[in-house]
Amino acid sequence: MKGDISLCCRDLERYLGEAEERVHALRGVSLDVETGSLHAVVGPSGCGKSTLLYILGLLDVPDAGSVEIGSTLVAGLRDEELARRRNQLIGFIFQFHFLMEEFTAQENVMIPMRRLGQLSEEEMGERAANLLEAVDLGDKLRRQSRHLSGGEQQRVAIARALANDPQVILADEPTGNLDTNNSQRAFELLANIVREREKALLLVTHNRFIADSCDWVHEMQDGRIIASHPHGERISV
Amino acid sequence: MTAPFYIALRFATHRKRALLLSLVGVVFGVGIFICTQAQTQGFAQFFINSTIGSNGALIVRSRFQPRYEGLVIPTKNVSALPARRNYFEGIHNVSEIMRVSRQFSNVVACSPVLRGNVSARSGFETTNVELFGIDPPSHLRTTDLAKQIIDGKFDDFVNNTSAVIIGYRLAEQLEVGCGDSIQLLSPGGEYWRFVVAAIARSGVGTIDSTRVYAQTRVAQRLLKKPYEASMIIYKLRDPYRAPALATHFETLFQHLSQSWQEREESTLQLFIMLRLSVAVTVSLMILLAGFGIFNVLTMSVLSKVREIAILRSMGYRRIDISAIFLWQGALIATVGSLIGCILGGLLTWIVSKVPIHIRGLLYTNHFLVVWDWRHYLGATVLAVVAVFIASYVPARRAAQLQPVDTLRGSSL
């Protein structure tokens, strides 16, 4: 339901590296992402944006603090359980699409569904086709992913992130590798899906236009969120 | 189809060249393993069949004196060396021993034999031979002598007390054929003349170059023996249970009993060593193939680092990631073993048709092979183990990859 908190973290601390090279990547970061909302995290390189994203996506474990998805606390879970939650609750989109080149567009979208194992082969195929239709790739279902353009590949990655109907979508510079037109198109597509299907989106971006289009923009610096702006307010970065 | 298996199948078939290279190693390893085992065991089995066919699976020989050890009071401060057995030459109660022996389910037939060493002469050729005085009907039931005859007739031997059957190499040595006469020197110093009724070939060199068969009563007279049998030879339903039966007979009859395994121990050990040596050599080939698979899968893991990271981000567990690479290994092992078994069968068949001329320990004109399902099972197990070990390390490495490290490196 719109307004509910889909993703929440409190006082996250994370150190990266060993001994003298140790970096304090996150310093007490707290954040709430509501259902149906788009949140952007901006900041200079190395400020901890991606680290925050990976912790929220259960790919990394914080040294201190807590993460909640829906209303479930996910701290201290075993690797197997974290994997199950990632599969069911989270959809990832990366700057580089990371599609499997051996697979067609449709098969790529079916990969998370196969892990979930709740649908038959036909049902998975049908669902993947619908998702690809939603990102305007309905005519390229059976095309090998390596034969798609950069923009198309990123749209397949968006469809794949939605494969298991996750509550939360985490995107790490999803348009960073696309030209302006494709960036805008991919973002609009993502924004529409999030709003229509009531997902929560947290994206890391350097793109001013995309950040401005989100409901919230969080500015990060040196591992801290130094400011959070609702839609329409000017960003200082 | 599980998700890891599906992905493994796609990964493996996508890299056709690497898959083919891995398969070739396993296929040839398995194929050659099967063929060499069939071949080495073929020679061993031929020897075993031939020696059992000529000398029986079990032999009961001279009587020995019971030691009654239970009655002896042990003396202090004296090292108790086991006393040597006293043997009495010959078997005097042949009929009784044979009657009791036939009660055993493993005994198919038995036959008395009077054995002695004499000198044989023909023209200017003289050689030492082993004379077997046999009872033709029971000897036929116990051995393969009738099948071993390559020239002449067994009936001519049965119907003529002065007839003998001789080994084919002995015939070559004495330069005699069927109908020719040979002379055997008795212990008394006189030569006895015999007609060669038939020539036999057992396939075992030592038998074919020394064996002379005569009828028991004639042999008894010639050898001047007071008894009509120096041993009883047995044909068994399961020759591989001969050692147990020999032990039992020894206790029961108080006569020395020897299984074919004990009798031919040194030759059998030679065959076992040969088989082991070949098996080790060919196993190295399979291990080499495993090393190739290790390389291919390690390269696959290295080239799939990003895919592994994205699979992990999509909720695939560590165990799923390692399963993807283990399934690839399993696929190679299964397909490789299957084709390898077919190749092994084909190679074995081809080798069995290759002509060779062996006239030493064995007599054969072509390679001897054995068709044994255990060779196929052994080769498959070996291949599966080698491939599993080869796949395990890359699979484990893949599972331990930290997705964050890969994703961070790609996105910053």
The partner residue sitting opposite B315, judged by closest CB among A46, A83, A103, is A83
Nearest-CA residue of chain A relative to B304?
A: A100
Say if the Cβ atoms of B315 and A79 lie within 8 Å: no
Calculate how close chain B gets to A41, using CA atoms only, in Å: 15
Whether B412 and chain A come into contact, CB under 8 Å, resolves to yes
Q: What is the DSSP secondary-structure string of chain A? A: -TTSEEEEEEEEEEEESSGGG-EEEEEEEEEEEETT-EEEEE-STTSSHHHHHHHHTTSS--SEEEEEETTEE-TT--HHHHHHHHHHHEEEEESS----TTSBHHHHHHHHHHHHT-S-HHHHHHHHHHHHHHTT-TT-TTSBGGGS-HHHHHHHHHHHHTTT--SEEEEESTTTTS-HHHHHHHHHHHHHHHHHTT-EEEEE---HHHHHHSSEEEEEETTEEEEEEETTSPP--
Which residues does chain B have within 8 Å of residue A111's beta carbon, measured at their own beta carbons? 3, 7, 311, 314
Q: Can you give the pLDDT at residue B180? A: 92
Q: What's the CA dihedral at B342, B347, B353, B357 to 10 degrees?
A: -150
Distance from the Cα of residue A3 to its chain's centroid: 19
**What residue segments make up the domains of chain A, in order of their start?**
36-61+78-230
Q: Report the chain B residue with the minimal C-alpha distance to residue A99.
A: B307
What is this structure's pTM? 0.73
Q: Is B314 in contact with A86 (Cβ distance < 8 A)? A: yes
A172 contacts in B (CB within 8 Å)? 407, 411
**Alpha-carbon gap, residue A207 to A215, rounded angstroms:** 15
- Selecting from A57, A84, A94 the residue whose C-beta is nearest the C-beta of B411 gives A94
Does B313 touch chain A if contact means CB atoms closer than 8 Å?
yes
pLDDT at B141: 92
CATH topology of domain A36-61+78-230: Rossmann fold (3.40.50)
Q: Which pLDDT tens digits describe chain B residue by residue (412 residues)?
A: 788 999 988 888 887 888 888 888 889 888 988 998 898 888 888 888 888 888 899 999 888 776 666 676 766 665 555 566 777 788 888 899 999 999 999 999 999 999 999 999 988 888 999 999 999 999 999 999 998 999 999 999 999 999 999 999 999 999 999 999 999 998 888 889 999 999 999 888 889 999 999 999 999 999 988 888 999 999 999 999 999 999 999 888 888 899 999 988 888 898 888 888 888 887 887 787 778 778 877 887 777 888 888 898 889 999 999 999 899 889 888 999 999 999 999 999 999 988 887 776 777 888 888 899 999 999 999 888 888 888 888 888 888 888 888 877 654 3
Q: What is the ipTM of this complex?
A: 0.86
At A237, the pLDDT band (50, 70, 90 cuts) reads: very low
Note every long-range contact of B13-22, with CB atoms under 8 Å and residues 24 or more positions apart, other chains counting. B14/A101, B14/A102, B15/B296, B15/B300, B18/B296, B18/B299, B18/B300, B19/B296, B19/B332, B21/B292, B21/B296, B22/B289, B22/B292, B22/B293, B22/B296, B22/B332, B22/B336
Chain A residues at the B interface, defined by Cβ less than 8 Å, are 45-46, 50-51, 54, 57, 59-60, 79-80, 83-88, 90, 92, 94-96, 98, 100-103, 107, 111-112, 114-117, 160, 164, 172-173, 176
Q: Rounded to a whole number, what is the distance in Å from the CA of B308 to chain A's nearest CA?
A: 10
A59-85 mean pLDDT? 85
Nearest-CA distance B405 → chain A (Å): 10
A46/B319 CB distance under 8 A = no
